[in-house]
Amino acid sequence: MNQKYQEIVKKNSPKENVLINAVVAFITGGIMGIIGQALIDGYTTWLDISTKEATVCMLVTLIFFTCLFTSLGFFDKFVNFCKCGLIIPITGFAHATMSAALEYRKEGLVTGIGMNMLKLSGAVIIFGVVSSFVFSLLRMVVGLI
């Protein structure tokens, strides 16, 4: 009975086309990379700042527009279509933060927005900090030898 059910589920669940998804992610992710490089070039020439500062400006710009588009409601559709093409760039981090903040805003400023804003993106910060601590410790030990 259970086995039969599994077979029916397998037959009727929609097949995700791995190839098309991969190509879409490749193209949209690549376009994000081009936008990033174009913003860096633009900031270094127009504002006359170093590449390092331009990188920070570029990231802040991307985060700002992601937050804006998420609040206006149409960034979710982009993410549903591009999937990893928008999740892996920094836009995914901003999108997770923004949508959590919007989702919980009804529960109040502190208990809603404050406690839940980093619910999804907190994993990135925590694992990033822990792993970078471990890796730099490793580098330190290797450097001492």
Partner 1 sequence: MIYLNAFLFAGFVCMIAQIILDKTKLTPGHITVIFVVLGAFLDIFNIYDQIILWAGGGALVPITSFGHNLTHGAIHGYNTEGVLGLFSGTLDLTAAGISAAIIFAFFMSLIFEPKD
The residues in 22-51 that bind partner 1, with binding defined as CB under 8 A, are 22-40
Question: By C-beta, is 1 or 73 nearer to partner 1?
Answer: 73
Q: Which residues contact 21 (CB under 8 A, 6 or more apart)?
A: 83
**51-72 and 75-82 helices cross at what angle (nearest 10)?**
110
Interface with partner 1 (CB under 8 A), residue from 1, 9, 18, 145: 18
Rg (CA), the chain: 20
The answer to whether residues 116 and 104 touch, using CB atoms and an 8 Å cutoff, is yes
**Cα–Cα dist 93/59, whole Å:** 11
Distance, in Å, from the CA atom of 93 to the CA atom of 99, rounded to the nearest integer, reads 10
Q: Which of 64, 81, 107, 108 binds partner 1 (CB under 8 A)?
A: 64
Residue count at the site for partner 1 (CB under 8 A)?
Answer: 72
Q: Which is nearer to partner 1, 49 or 113 (CB)?
A: 113
Q: How far is the CB of 118 from partner 1 (least distance, A)?
A: 8
Min CB(141)–partner 1 separation in Å:
11
**Residue numbers 88-117 binding partner 1 by CB under 8 A:** 88-90, 92-94, 97-98, 100-103, 105, 113, 117
Nearer to partner 1, 1 or 96 (CB): 96
